[in-house]
A and B are shown apart, each in its own frame.
Chain A
Amino acid sequence: MTDSRESYLSQFEQAERQLVRGGDWLARIRRSAIDRFRELGFPTPRLEDWRFTNVAPIASVPFRISASARTLSSTESLLARGLGSQAPNLLVFENGRYRPTRSRLADLPEGATVLSFAEALRERAPSVEAHFARHAAYEAHAFAALNTAFAEDGALIQIPKGSVVSSPIYLAFLSDADKPSLSNPRVLIVAAENSAAKVVEAYFGQGEYLTNAVTEIVLGQGASVEHYKLQGEGEEASHIALTQVQQEKDSRFVSHSLALGGRLVRNEIRVALDAEGAECALNGLYLASGRQHLDNTTFIDHLKPRCTSREIYKGIVGDRASAVFSGRILVRPDAQKTDSSQTNKNLLLSEDATVDSKPQLAIYADDVKCTHGATVGQIDEASLFYLRSRGLPAEQARALLTYAFASDIVRRVESASIRAQVQRLVAARLPANLVFEEQQ
């Protein structure tokens, strides 16, 4: 296969001096990552992990790594589409670059650090050296290797011991490409002992571009992190992301992944429950239409005893779109008293829509409680008739049932302001123009 690998290798050679300014440790990691990318190349469907997602359309385009300092004229409209409401804590990135003038940090507790990743590298923040690329395994993941070699900007969020950030921290990654470009956002969230924070990563844009994001989240003992991902990339865009979560004792991680945009998308979340009593909940909703391909891959690694994982992903797939749910749960020999459940439900709206649902449970401990289930169905004819018999036009009835299918995922969003936003984004994607308020 001819691909764009060489282009990235030469782009690295050109930019290396600038890329390694964070220190020798960084130079070593960058070099090792680009070498690993060279060895791995782009994944192909021959690899089990990539069986349902062919990234050839990405591999064949030599995207330029966006270095321009061009400010976007579309930022306001993209922000309005993606976030709507005013957020007190907001970092804005345009084509991968932090824009301080559009950003604000108005509601952070004493001691909490929120920095652009470029600034964190410049300042040689110790937590970056301690955690950068220590969790997201670029050795096994070509896109993570590419990100690790090139990542220059993104965010560092550090919450000190016992500190609670009550307002969500929004990271808005906005893209507007006039030629095929690549950004490599990098986010590192370090939540110390008994701290708590909510972080929203939002991706919106237009034009032909590739977002290749890596997020590392480290939870100390008793820490709590709610991580939201609102993915509404442009319709010609591709989005590949890896979120790697490392959990200490009694920590609690909640993920809400909303996948709406992009032509070719893979969102991968990997959680290591690496100490007793840790719990995680992964909630996902994906809405694919047109010719979109949305891949949701998750891996929950139960390494230690008495950890809990709850996973529910729901998908609505229409037109000629395709979607993937691939959820692996590994219960290691040490992980006795594991309590794990996984559900994947899919609603197909057309004959040409496809879903590949692949739950995988591997259990090597004997005293565990694990359940899983996956369904693929269509709109229930009896429910549709019931609604229509009450006077709802067929299209509106279908939209209402479609929304209803998604609604339990929306309701899981604990924060009211984020929930309203999710609700708005989901409703905007439905075929009929319904007004969805809180259904009271």
Chain B
Amino acid sequence: MTQVPMLEIKNLHATVADQEILKGINLSINPGEVHAIMGPNGSGKSTLAQVLAGRESYQVTAGEVLYQGKNLLELPPEERAVAGIFLAFQYPVEIPGVGNLYFLRTALNAIRRRRGLEELDPMDFLALAKERMKRVELDQSFMNRSVNEGFSGGEKKRNEVFQLAVLEPKLAILDETDSGLDIDALRIIAKGVNSLRSKDRAMLVITHYQRLLDYIIPDRVHVMANGRIASSGGKELALELEKKGYSWIEEQQGSKAPKAGARAP
């Protein structure tokens, strides 16, 4: 019996402000797997992440995305969260006036309510939050501050992984969660993420650098270039990229599709 993939992307095309960014993505992730997507800036990695989370300003023009065998693209962002999808943002948004913990409890309870579960009261939620904060070594003083307001780059990323740890999604998408982090912060983030790996949970880790993959060891590595997946392989592909650089992939892709930007038939 074949397993239903957690995520199946078939020939996905998407545009942002009438410009085609994704030009036919194919990707399949099974429960329990961690896939990494690497690629140069502008290759479409973040667009893919935003499309999967349901950003409305991104238009899907062709293809389909199945999540646990069901059409994901028809769901609004909040229903995707209810279904178990979580995006750790590359640039987490600052929201002055909304308490960090209040926000997360409201989110968790909105999800629980839609799933037919009992809501957590503030005391139970606080206990959960404190325990999960330890995993990302986030100081408790962050609980009472406004969402991401005045957080450093590293603190924002840790706050994303903290939210991930509280919401416990089935599919976690991490969009350049390593960017702008020093090595200590990177280790902490990776430790937090690794503690969430399980046979029921899939992860899609988007990164520009191989460095993160020393700590979060992926099952599969895909390289994106010019809106497509140019190459896929095991974790050794990341090391090869590190040695040869992205131009190697871009050249390889260029030889397959001679005209830059030409669409595959």
Interface residues of A (CB under 8 A from B): 380-383, 385-394, 396-397, 400-401, 403-408, 439-440
Contact = CB atoms under 8 A, between A and B. Distances in A.
Given A383-B93, A400-B106, A391 B111 contact: yes
Contacts of A382: 93
A429 to B, nearest CB: 16
A439 B99 contact: yes
B213 interface: no
B167 interface: yes
A405 B95 CA distance: 9
A224 to B, nearest CB: 27
A273 to B, nearest CB: 30
By Cβ-Cβ distance, the 5 closest A-B pairs, closest first, are: A404-B97, A439-B99, A391-B81, A407-B97, A390-B107
Contacts of B82: 391
A387 B93 CA distance: 9
A105 to B, nearest CB: 37
Contact of A391 (B78, B89, B98): B78
Nearest to B107: A390
Interface string B44-57: 00000000011111
How big is the B interface, by class?
A: 35 or more
A86 B131 CA distance: 40
Nearest to B87: A389
Given A386-B92, A387-B103, A404 B98 contact: yes
B187 interface: no
A404 B104 CA distance: 15
Given A396-B110, A400-B106, A390 B81 contact: yes
A82 B77 CA distance: 38
A403 B82 CA distance: 24
Nearest to A440: B144
B37 interface: no
Contacts of A391: 78, 81-82, 107-108, 110-111, 114, 167
Nearest to B173: A389
Contact of A394 (B76, B86, B87, B103): B76
A390 B163 contact: yes
Contacts of A385: 53-56, 77
Interface in B110-169: 110-111, 114, 143-144, 146, 163, 167
B233 interface: no
B107 A392 contact: yes
A396 B114 CA distance: 14
Contacts of B54: 385, 388-389
Contacts of B81: 388-391
Nearest to A385: B55
14 contacts: A380-B93, A386-B89, A388-B54, A388-B76, A391-B114, A392-B107, A393-B110, A400-B106, A401-B95, A407-B96, A408-B97, A439-B99, A440-B99, A440-B143
B112 to A, nearest CB: 9
Interface of B: 53-57, 76-78, 80-82, 86-87, 89, 92-93, 95-99, 101-104, 106-108, 110-111, 114, 143-144, 146, 163, 167
* A interface, over-half SS: helix
Contacts of B98: 400-401, 403-404, 407, 439
Contacts of B93: 380, 382-383, 386
Contacts of A381: 57
A394 B54 CA distance: 12
A190 B38 CA distance: 71
Contacts of B56: 385
A440 B106 CA distance: 12
B51 to A, nearest CB: 12
Nearest to A403: B97
A383 B103 CA distance: 12
Nearest to B114: A391
A404 B102 contact: no
Given A391-B111, A392-B106, 17 more contacts: A383-B95, A386-B93, A387-B103, A388-B77, A389-B89, A390-B86, A390-B103, A390-B104, A401-B95, A401-B98, A403-B98, A404-B146, A406-B97, A407-B96, A439-B99, A439-B102, A440-B143
Contacts of B78: 388-389, 391-394, 397
B92 A389 contact: no
- Between B54, B97, B103, B167, the greatest number of chain A beta carbons within 10 A of the residue's beta carbon is seen for B97
A388 B79 CA distance: 9
Given A389-B81, A394-B76, A405 B106 contact: no
Contacts of B92: 386
A393 B82 CA distance: 10
Given A386-B89, A440-B102, A392 B96 contact: no
B126 to A, nearest CB: 9
A386 B95 contact: yes
B63 to A, nearest CB: 21
Contacts of B77: 385, 388-389
Nearest to B146: A404
- Between A380, A381, A385, A400, the greatest number of chain B beta carbons within 10 A of the residue's beta carbon is seen for A385
A221 B226 CA distance: 71
Contacts of B96: 404, 407-408
Nearest to B115: A391
Nearest to B91: A382
Contact of A389 (B80, B99, B114, B143): B80
Given A394-B78, A404-B98, A389 B53 contact: yes
Contacts of A389: 53-54, 77-78, 80-81, 86-87, 89
B58 to A, nearest CB: 10
Contacts of B87: 389
B144 A392 contact: no
Contacts of B89: 386, 389
Nearest to A435: B106
A396 B78 CA distance: 11
Nearest to A408: B97
Contacts of B55: 385
Given A385-B55, A390-B107, A392-B110, A404 B95 contact: yes
A423 to B, nearest CB: 12
A326 to B, nearest CB: 26
A227 to B, nearest CB: 24
Nearest to A397: B78
Contact of A405 (B86, B97, B110, B111): B97
